[in-house]
Protein backbone atom coordinates (compact mmCIF):
# COMPACT_ATOMS: atom_id res chain seq x y z
CA UNK A 1 0.00 0.00 0.00
CA UNK A 2 1.23 3.58 -0.67
CA UNK A 3 2.85 5.19 2.34
CA UNK A 4 1.06 8.54 2.01
CA UNK A 5 1.36 9.66 5.62
CA UNK A 6 5.17 9.34 5.90
CA UNK A 7 5.56 11.15 2.56
CA UNK A 8 3.43 14.05 3.76
CA UNK A 9 5.35 14.18 7.03
CA UNK A 10 8.66 14.29 5.17
CA UNK A 11 7.44 17.16 2.99
CA UNK A 12 6.26 19.16 5.99
CA UNK A 13 9.46 18.46 7.95
CA UNK A 14 11.61 19.66 5.05
CA UNK A 15 9.42 22.74 4.72
CA UNK A 16 9.71 23.51 8.44
CA UNK A 17 13.51 23.31 8.32
CA UNK A 18 13.66 25.80 5.48
CA UNK A 19 11.17 28.01 7.32
CA UNK A 20 13.69 28.19 10.15
CA UNK A 21 16.30 29.35 7.65
CA UNK A 22 13.90 32.03 6.42
CA UNK A 23 13.24 33.17 9.98
CA UNK A 24 16.93 33.41 10.74
CA UNK A 25 17.43 35.59 7.67
CA UNK A 26 14.53 37.85 8.62
CA UNK A 27 15.70 38.10 12.24
CA UNK A 28 19.23 38.97 11.18
CA UNK A 29 17.86 42.01 9.34
CA UNK A 30 15.76 43.11 12.33
CA UNK A 31 12.55 42.90 10.30
CA UNK A 32 9.09 42.06 11.64
CA UNK A 33 7.19 39.69 9.34
CA UNK A 34 3.60 38.53 9.01
CA UNK A 35 1.87 35.88 6.92
CA UNK A 36 -1.68 36.90 5.98
CA UNK A 37 -4.22 34.13 5.36
CA UNK A 38 -7.81 34.45 4.16
CA UNK A 39 -10.37 32.99 1.82
CA UNK A 40 -10.73 34.63 -1.59
CA UNK A 41 -12.48 37.98 -1.35
CA UNK A 42 -12.06 38.46 2.40
CA UNK A 43 -9.90 41.51 1.81
CA UNK A 44 -6.21 40.59 2.15
CA UNK A 45 -5.08 42.88 -0.64
CA UNK A 46 -7.47 45.64 0.40
CA UNK A 47 -6.09 45.48 3.93
CA UNK A 48 -2.56 45.87 2.58
CA UNK A 49 -3.62 48.73 0.33
CA UNK A 50 -5.20 50.61 3.23
CA UNK A 51 -2.39 49.82 5.66
CA UNK A 52 0.56 50.96 3.57
CA UNK A 53 -0.35 54.69 3.39
CA UNK A 54 -0.90 54.72 7.17
CA UNK A 55 2.60 53.31 7.69
CA UNK A 56 4.28 55.95 5.54
CA UNK A 57 6.99 57.64 7.58
CA UNK A 58 6.68 54.98 10.30
CA UNK A 59 7.84 51.73 8.72
CA UNK A 60 9.56 50.72 5.49
CA UNK A 61 7.50 47.89 4.05
CA UNK A 62 8.15 45.10 1.58
CA UNK A 63 5.43 42.74 0.39
CA UNK A 64 5.47 39.24 -1.04
CA UNK A 65 2.21 38.40 -2.77
CA UNK A 66 1.23 34.84 -3.56
CA UNK A 67 -1.38 33.91 -6.14
CA UNK A 68 -2.10 31.10 -8.55
CA UNK A 69 -1.52 33.47 -11.49
CA UNK A 70 -1.13 37.19 -12.44
CA UNK A 71 0.77 40.00 -10.72
CA UNK A 72 -2.35 41.96 -9.77
CA UNK A 73 -1.79 41.85 -6.00
CA UNK A 74 1.86 42.88 -6.17
CA UNK A 75 0.96 45.70 -8.55
CA UNK A 76 -1.67 46.95 -6.12
CA UNK A 77 0.78 46.79 -3.21
CA UNK A 78 3.40 48.72 -5.15
CA UNK A 79 0.86 51.36 -6.11
CA UNK A 80 -0.17 51.71 -2.46
CA UNK A 81 3.39 52.48 -1.39
CA UNK A 82 5.30 49.24 -0.77
CA UNK A 83 9.03 49.81 -1.04
CA UNK A 84 9.29 46.47 -2.82
CA UNK A 85 6.56 44.10 -4.02
CA UNK A 86 7.49 40.58 -5.07
CA UNK A 87 4.90 38.41 -6.81
CA UNK A 88 4.95 34.63 -6.45
CA UNK A 89 2.84 32.70 -8.92
CA UNK A 90 2.30 29.23 -7.52
CA UNK A 91 1.29 27.65 -10.83
CA UNK A 92 -1.82 26.11 -9.37
CA UNK A 93 -0.69 25.33 -5.82
CA UNK A 94 -3.19 26.52 -3.20
CA UNK A 95 -0.57 27.87 -0.78
CA UNK A 96 2.84 29.39 -0.37
CA UNK A 97 5.59 27.31 1.20
CA UNK A 98 9.00 28.00 2.70
CA UNK A 99 10.77 27.29 -0.61
CA UNK A 100 8.73 29.95 -2.38
CA UNK A 101 9.39 32.52 0.33
CA UNK A 102 13.08 31.64 0.32
CA UNK A 103 13.19 32.51 -3.38
CA UNK A 104 11.40 35.79 -2.76
CA UNK A 105 13.78 36.74 0.05
CA UNK A 106 16.66 36.25 -2.40
CA UNK A 107 15.23 39.21 -4.32
CA UNK A 108 15.01 41.52 -1.31
CA UNK A 109 17.58 43.52 0.62
CA UNK A 110 15.86 43.06 3.96
CA UNK A 111 18.15 45.58 5.65
CA UNK A 112 16.22 48.28 3.80
CA UNK A 113 12.90 47.36 5.45
CA UNK A 114 11.23 47.21 8.85
CA UNK A 115 8.18 45.14 7.97
CA UNK A 116 7.65 42.21 5.60
CA UNK A 117 4.05 41.42 4.68
CA UNK A 118 3.45 38.07 3.01
CA UNK A 119 0.05 37.72 1.36
CA UNK A 120 -0.70 34.03 1.03
CA UNK A 121 -2.94 32.40 -1.56
CA UNK A 122 -6.65 32.78 -0.87
CA UNK A 123 -7.54 29.51 0.84
CA UNK A 124 -8.60 28.50 4.37
CA UNK A 125 -7.13 24.99 4.31
CA UNK A 126 -3.74 24.47 2.67
CA UNK A 127 -1.79 27.61 3.76
CA UNK A 128 -2.23 26.79 7.44
CA UNK A 129 -0.18 23.59 7.04
CA UNK A 130 2.96 25.20 5.63
CA UNK A 131 5.16 27.34 7.83
CA UNK A 132 7.00 30.13 6.06
CA UNK A 133 9.26 31.48 8.77
CA UNK A 134 7.34 34.67 9.51
CA UNK A 135 6.92 35.93 13.07
CA UNK A 136 3.14 36.10 13.10
CA UNK A 137 0.27 34.57 11.15
CA UNK A 138 -2.71 36.85 10.62
CA UNK A 139 -6.10 35.61 9.46
CA UNK A 140 -8.49 37.97 7.68
CA UNK A 141 -12.13 36.99 8.05
CA UNK A 142 -14.95 39.06 6.60
CA UNK A 143 -18.56 39.63 7.57
CA UNK A 144 -20.08 38.49 4.22
CA UNK A 145 -18.36 35.10 4.55
CA UNK A 146 -20.65 34.20 7.43
CA UNK A 147 -20.24 33.66 11.15
CA UNK A 148 -19.67 29.90 10.92
CA UNK A 149 -16.12 29.93 9.56
CA UNK A 150 -14.37 29.15 12.88
CA UNK A 151 -16.54 26.05 13.18
CA UNK A 152 -15.85 24.93 9.61
CA UNK A 153 -12.10 25.65 9.58
CA UNK A 154 -10.90 25.06 13.15
CA UNK A 155 -7.32 24.23 12.16
CA UNK A 156 -6.80 27.60 10.54
CA UNK A 157 -8.39 29.62 13.33
CA UNK A 158 -6.55 27.66 16.01
CA UNK A 159 -3.11 28.42 14.61
CA UNK A 160 -3.17 32.19 14.04
CA UNK A 161 -1.61 34.94 16.15
CA UNK A 162 -4.01 37.70 15.17
CA UNK A 163 -7.44 37.93 13.60
CA UNK A 164 -8.76 40.74 11.43
CA UNK A 165 -12.55 40.85 11.06
CA UNK A 166 -13.03 42.91 7.90
CA UNK A 167 -16.07 44.62 6.38
CA UNK A 168 -17.75 45.44 9.70
CA UNK A 169 -19.51 48.28 7.89
CA UNK A 170 -21.75 45.56 6.44
CA UNK A 171 -22.95 44.27 9.83
CA UNK A 172 -26.31 46.09 9.60
CA UNK A 173 -27.00 44.45 6.25
CA UNK A 174 -25.70 40.89 6.66
CA UNK A 175 -26.89 38.09 8.91
CA UNK A 176 -23.64 37.84 10.83
CA UNK A 177 -23.84 37.03 14.56
CA UNK A 178 -20.69 38.50 16.05
CA UNK A 179 -21.27 36.77 19.40
CA UNK A 180 -21.56 33.37 17.70
CA UNK A 181 -18.47 34.03 15.61
CA UNK A 182 -16.47 35.23 18.62
CA UNK A 183 -17.52 32.22 20.68
CA UNK A 184 -16.19 29.89 18.00
CA UNK A 185 -12.92 31.80 17.80
CA UNK A 186 -12.40 31.85 21.58
CA UNK A 187 -12.94 28.11 21.93
CA UNK A 188 -10.21 27.48 19.38
CA UNK A 189 -7.84 30.36 20.15
CA UNK A 190 -8.55 31.97 23.53
CA UNK A 191 -7.48 35.59 23.81
CA UNK A 192 -6.29 35.90 20.20
CA UNK A 193 -5.57 39.52 19.26
CA UNK A 194 -8.54 40.67 17.19
CA UNK A 195 -9.06 43.75 15.02
CA UNK A 196 -12.63 44.46 13.87
CA UNK A 197 -12.26 46.94 11.00
CA UNK A 198 -13.46 48.14 7.65
CA UNK A 199 -11.08 48.67 4.77
CA UNK A 200 -13.80 50.67 3.02
CA UNK A 201 -14.49 53.20 5.78
CA UNK A 202 -11.18 53.03 7.65
CA UNK A 203 -12.84 52.20 10.96
CA UNK A 204 -10.53 50.19 13.21
CA UNK A 205 -7.43 50.52 11.03
CA UNK A 206 -5.51 52.65 13.53
CA UNK A 207 -5.37 49.85 16.12
CA UNK A 208 -4.17 47.40 13.47
CA UNK A 209 -1.45 49.77 12.28
CA UNK A 210 -0.31 50.45 15.85
CA UNK A 211 0.04 46.70 16.43
CA UNK A 212 2.30 46.43 13.39
CA UNK A 213 4.41 49.39 14.48
CA UNK A 214 4.89 48.11 18.02
CA UNK A 215 5.86 44.62 16.86
CA UNK A 216 8.29 46.08 14.32
CA UNK A 217 9.96 48.10 17.08
CA UNK A 218 10.41 44.93 19.13
CA UNK A 219 11.99 43.10 16.21
CA UNK A 220 14.40 45.96 15.54
CA UNK A 221 15.59 46.17 19.15
CATH of the domain at 38: 3.40.50.300
Q: Report the distance separating Cα 116 and Cα 216, nearest Å.
A: 10
User: Closest Cα to residue 60, out of 83, 78, 33, 85?
Assistant: 83
So what's the pLDDT on residue 67? 85
So what's the pLDDT on residue 109? 96
92 DSSP 8-state letter: T
Q: Report the distance separating Cα 81 and Cα 49, nearest Å.
A: 8
Question: Residues of the chain whose pLDDT is less than 70?
Answer: 1-11
User: Closest Cα to residue 98, out of 4, 196, 11?
Assistant: 11
So what's the pLDDT on residue 9? 60
So what's the pLDDT on residue 2? 47
So what's the pLDDT on residue 10? 66
Residue 196 host element (H or E): strand 193-196
Q: Measure the N-to-C terminal CA separation of the chain; round to a whole number of Å.
A: 52
105 DSSP 8-state letter: H
State how many domains the chain has: 1
Residue-number span of the structural domain to which 152 is assigned? 4-220
So what's the pLDDT on residue 1? 43
In angstroms, what CA-CA distances link 151 with 32, 55, 185, 187, 204? 30, 34, 8, 10, 25
203 DSSP 8-state letter: T
Hey, what long-range contacts does 4-12 have (CB within 8 A, 24 or more apart)? 12/129, 12/130
Beta bridge partners of 141: 165
Q: Report the distance separating Cα 29 and Cα 154, nearest Å.
A: 34
At 31-72, the pLDDT tens digits run 999 999 999 999 999 999 999 999 999 999 999 999 887 788
Amino acid sequence: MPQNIPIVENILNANDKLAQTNRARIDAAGVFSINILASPGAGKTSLIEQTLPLLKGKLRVATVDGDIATSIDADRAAAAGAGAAIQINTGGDCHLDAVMLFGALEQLDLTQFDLLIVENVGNLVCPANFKLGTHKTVLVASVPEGDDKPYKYPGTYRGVDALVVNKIDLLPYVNFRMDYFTQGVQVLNPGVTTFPLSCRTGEGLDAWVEWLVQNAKKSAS
